[in-house]
């Protein structure tokens, strides 16, 4: 029996029944193998860029008896698929800048893809910016904590399928006390996640504030103009985060 982590389990829930899945950076092909066993996908491609993980994915598929359903391929990013071969693509467990670069390099392979499920470990803003700039509508965001780490999962569909303007998600949002979450804040903190303001999301951004404070403390020990400029930039970012967190946190009743 294939067991998924909490993170991969949430990604699996975002894959519609009857999908032809391409899982890029497949990590032992666990996700496609699980979905094939569940009968959720009718065809799967597990893509790996390095021989070691490729061999591990081949062994997993073979051990699961799924060779006729899942094809393990060695290649860089979306180079492992042909246009029209998959209708759902999952990319998980890497940086947001790398995910965006994989999508950018493989744009021609996105023909016929109806859903992207993306889980960046860091740099979520880079993924949202790529989706926004390339005609993909962000339909949902999930945030979860597992083994002391916090993950965000972003699901998107082509603008033509959503019938909505992706830009509408990033229009300035008025929060409590007249605080505005502008486009930059929503790209960074998540348009759905800001509205939901869950405890895990609050925890994540409290951690981010702590990291920024430590960076500013280190910069404060330098007298260079570059350090002063960087410190001012980080303190302005901290102020924006603090304002949004304060506006999204329910006030205690007197």
Residues 10 and 34 sit within 8 Å (Cβ to Cβ): no
191-212 pLDDT tens trace = 999 999 999 999 999 999 999 9
pLDDT one-digit tens code per residue, 64-89 = 999 999 999 999 999 999 999 999 99
Please say if the pLDDT value at position 252 is more than 70. Answer: no
The tokens describing 200, both together, are 């895990």
**How many Å apart are CA 192 and CA 188, to the nearest integer?**
11
Distance CA 33, CA 29 (A): 6
Query: Tokens 């910069």, residue?
Result: 219
Residue 126 has pLDDT above 90, yes or no: yes
What does the chain come to in residues?
254
CA distance 59 to 30: 11
Helix (H) or strand (E) holding 162: helix 159-162
What is the gyration radius of the CA atoms in the chain, in angstroms?
Answer: 20
State pTM to two decimals. 0.94
pLDDT above 80: residue 251: no
pLDDT average, residue stretch 147-162: 95
Q: What pLDDT was estimated at residue 253?
A: 38
Residue pair 141/192 in contact (Cβ under 8 Å)? The answer is: yes
Strand locations in 126-244 (E) = 136-146, 149-158, 173-174, 180-181
When comparing pLDDT for 252 and 1, which is higher?
1
**pLDDT value of position 223:** 83
29: which residues sit within 8 A by CB, 6+ positions away? 23, 44, 46, 56, 57, 58, 60, 61, 70, 72
């Amino acid at each position: 029996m294939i067991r998924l982590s909490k993170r991969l389990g949430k990604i699996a829930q975002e894959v519609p029944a009857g999908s032809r899945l391409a899982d890029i950076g497949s990590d032992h092909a666990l996700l496609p193998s699980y979905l094939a066993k569940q009968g959720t996908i009718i065809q799967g491609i597990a893509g790996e860029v390095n021989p070691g993980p490729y061999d591990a994915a081949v062994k997993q598929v073979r051990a699961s008896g799924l060779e006729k359903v899942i094809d393990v391929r060695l290649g860089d990013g979306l180079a492992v698929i042909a246009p029209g071969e998959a209708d759902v693509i999952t990319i998980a467990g890497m940086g947001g800048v790398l995910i965006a670069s994989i999508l950018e390099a493989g744009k021609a392979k996105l023909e016929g893809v109806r859903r992207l499920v993306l889980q960046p470990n860091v740099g979520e803003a880079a993924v949202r910016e790529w989706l926004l700039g390339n005609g993909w509508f962000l339909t949902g965001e999930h945030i979860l904590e597992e083994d002391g780490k916090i993950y965000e999962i972003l699901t998107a569909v082509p603008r033509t399928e959503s019938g909505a303007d992706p830009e509408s998600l990033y229009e300035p949002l008025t929060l409590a006390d007249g605080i505005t979450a502008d486009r930059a804040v929503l790209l960074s903190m998540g348009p759905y996640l800001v509205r939901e303001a869950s405890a895990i999301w609050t925890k994540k951004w409290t951690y981010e504030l702590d990291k920024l404070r430590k960076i500013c403390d280190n910069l404060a020990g330098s007298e260079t103009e570059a350090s002063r400029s960087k410190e001012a930039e980080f303190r302005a970012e901290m102020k924006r985060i603090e304002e949004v967190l304060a506006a999204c946190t329910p006030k205690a009743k007197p």
